[in-house]
Amino acid sequence: MTAPTPLLSLHNISKRFGGLAVISDVSFDVSAGARMALIGPNGAGKTTIFNLVSGFYQPDEGDIMMEGRAIQTIASRHRIGLGIARSFQNIRLMPHLSVTENIMLGQQARAGGVVELLKPLSFFGHSHWRDEAQALLKDMGLHTYPGEVVANLPYGIRKKIEVVRALVARPKLLLLDEPAAGLNAAETDSLTGFLKRISDTGVTLLVVEHDMGLVRRLCDHVVVLNFGRKIYDGPTANVQNDPLVLEAYLGPRDAASPAKTAEGCHAA
């Protein structure tokens, strides 16, 4: 029986900046419906991978495939139409606009023509764009905030709003760059449940994250990078016992010490 085509595939991807190799011959697949994490020490190349997938960079070698189609030469603004959306580590909401208006900004990717670009921002008054934005907020449990100015909301709520703004593009694949950065434990728990709800709607998640508690609770598969190379690709449950992963986080001497294993992987 033929295996289904992965939603996203990276085949032998390499990226250099001048003489510095940031990504070296990296390959992995993301299956449709997966909740997958991309982790590694600082400087491992995780955000570079996101920038390659979303089209901010082009690889020097290799192919990026979306549903079997090579997309590495497609401009970033057109990849949204292929089903790829992204949130960023640093919140990029418009703080002076309301929650609904920020969500409607995400609809620009699906609007066509000047008039359609204006409609989501309600220059022409009430529209189906506003109805859709408010319906999505309700579905995601954020319906109590539609008219609130974003700058007045708690940081954890703003993190969720940015994810919802990415969702209005109707992605098949959602790239989340350190969604728990800056959140306390309670906010991280709330965000984890929120992302599971999104996954349950059929959206595939690829998450860059340092909080291994979130990774263990959310993701069933992990790819680990170190110095731009893949050192692990497998179940989340096994990652903290992998010797190459332990060495990457703890160093060769400490990796041999079982007493430090849990502490080191928790800081991943």
Pick from 217, 211, 212: which is nearest to 195 by CA?
217
152 domain-assigned: no
114 domain-assigned: no
Q: Over the stretch 151-161, which tens digit does the pLDDT of each residue have?
A: 898 888 888 98
- Per-residue pLDDT, averaged over 173-187, amounts to 91
237 domain-assigned: yes
29 domain-assigned: yes
135 domain-assigned: no
Distance CA 7, CA 32 (A): 5
Q: How many residues does the chain have?
A: 268
On whether the CB atoms of residues 103 and 136 are closer than 8 A, the answer is: yes
Residue 114 banded pLDDT, cuts 50, 70, 90: very low
- pTM comes to 0.84
pLDDT of residue 19: 87
- Per-residue pLDDT, averaged over 118-134, amounts to 67
59 domain-assigned: yes
12/98: higher pLDDT: 12
Question: Is the per-residue pLDDT at 253 higher than 70?
Answer: no
CATH number at residue 244: 3.40.50.300
pLDDT of residue 84: 94
109 domain-assigned: no
Distance CA 69, CA 66 (A): 5
Pick from 83, 49, 56, 57: which is nearest to 69 by CA?
83
97 domain-assigned: no
pLDDT of residue 85: 92
The number of domains in the chain is 1
Question: Is the per-residue pLDDT at 263 higher than 70?
Answer: no
Query: Token pair for residue 94?
Result: 């418009």
- Per-residue pLDDT, averaged over 59-75, amounts to 95
Q: Which domain holds residue 187?
A: 8-92+171-266
Distance CA 106, CA 194 (A): 19
Q: Over the stretch 20-58, which tens digit does the pLDDT of each residue have?
A: 999 999 999 999 999 999 999 888 999 999 999 999 999
Could you tell me which residues are beta bridge partners of residue 86? 175
| Amino acid at residue number 224 | V
- Per-residue pLDDT, averaged over 63-75, amounts to 95
